[in-house]
Amino acid sequence: MLTLKANGETVIYKKLSGVEQGYTDKGNHHYQIIKALDEDGDVFRFQFFDDRSIGLKMMWGNFMIQFADL
């Protein structure tokens, strides 16, 4: 997985898992999730939701960044 940083540098993330699919605890939102390794050796997760109002979640330990279409 290749990402472009704000300063123009590129970062390559190593995918650690296959794509897992599931539904939220209430069962009303479908998602896909993968685990990856960042450049510092930290494991994080990308979670993609079918519902664009939930969008994409990027999670590292107790931290999360979410991008959604409001």
pLDDT score of 3 more than 80:
no
Q: What is the pLDDT of residue 30?
A: 97
Return the pLDDT at 22.
96
pLDDT above 80: residue 1: no
Give the per-residue pLDDT at 65: 93
10-32 pLDDT, tens digit per residue, is: 888 889 999 999 999 998 999 99
Structure tokens at 31: 């998602």
Burial of residue 67, with CB atoms counted within 10 A of its CB: 0-12 exposed, 13-18 middle, 19 or more buried: exposed
Cα distance between residue 62 and residue 53, in whole Å: 22
pLDDT above 90 for 55: yes
